[in-house]
Chain A
Amino acid sequence: MATGNYGTIRPADVSVEDIEMFYSYTPNRESLIDVELFPLNPAEVLVPANNPNNVTEIFGGLYTLKLPTATFGTKGFYNIIIRPKQIRTKIQDCSVLVDNQDVKGIVFDLNQIPSDLQNRFENGNLVGYRVEYLKEQAGTGQDKIQNLFRIITSNNRALPITQNQGNSNASVSYTFNDNSTSIFCTVSPSSAPSIKPNATPFIGNPQQDVIITNTFFDPVMLEIEMVEFDDETLAYALFSNQTKSLEDGIYTIYNFGNQIYRQYNLYEVKDQFTGKPLFEVREQKFTIDPTKDFDEITDF
Chain B
Amino acid sequence: MKYIRKKRNLENYIVRNIPKSILIKDSEGKTVIDVDNPKYYYGTIPEFKIDKEGNFLLNTFGQKIKNTIDINLYLTQKVDDMGIFTDKPYIPKDTLLTDKPQNFNSFSYGRLAGAPVEFYYTPPNSVSGYTDDSLLKQVKSYRKDVNGQDVYVPNLNTSSNPSELYNGVISEDTEKTVYKINANVNNINNTGIKYTTYKNKFTTKKDDFGLNQTHKTTTFSVNNSGWNQYNTSLSATTKKEEYLGIVFKPEIDSAVFINRGIADIFERHALLSEIKTTNDIDTNRGGFIRI
Contact = CB atoms under 8 A, between A and B. Distances in A.
B159 to A, nearest CB: 33
B3 A12 contact: no
B71 to A, nearest CB: 4
Nearest to B23: A290
B18 A10 contact: no
Nearest to A232: B9
A218 B79 contact: no
Interface in A38-69: 45, 61-69
A218 B18 contact: no
Contact of B16 (A69, A224, A255): A255
B83 interface: yes
B37 to A, nearest CB: 12
Interface string B47-89: 1000000000000000000111111111111111111111100
B76 to A, nearest CB: 5
A226 interface: yes
B119 interface: no
A290 B33 CA distance: 7
A257 B75 contact: no
A83 B42 CA distance: 37
Contacts of A69: 13, 45-47, 66-69
A64 B244 CA distance: 36
30 contacts: A1-B84, A1-B87, A4-B81, A4-B82, A4-B83, A7-B80, A9-B79, A10-B79, A11-B77, A14-B75, A14-B77, A45-B68, A61-B76, A63-B73, A67-B71, A68-B47, A69-B66, A73-B10, A82-B75, A195-B242, A218-B75, A218-B76, A223-B5, A225-B7, A225-B8, A227-B9, A229-B11, A232-B9, A257-B16, A288-B18
Interface of A: 1-12, 14, 45, 61-70, 72-73, 75, 82-83, 188-191, 193-195, 215-230, 232-233, 255, 257, 259-261, 287-291, 293
A-B interface, 7 closest residue pairs, ranked by CB to CB distance from nearest: A4-B82, A259-B16, A66-B68, A12-B75, A7-B81, A73-B45, A65-B71
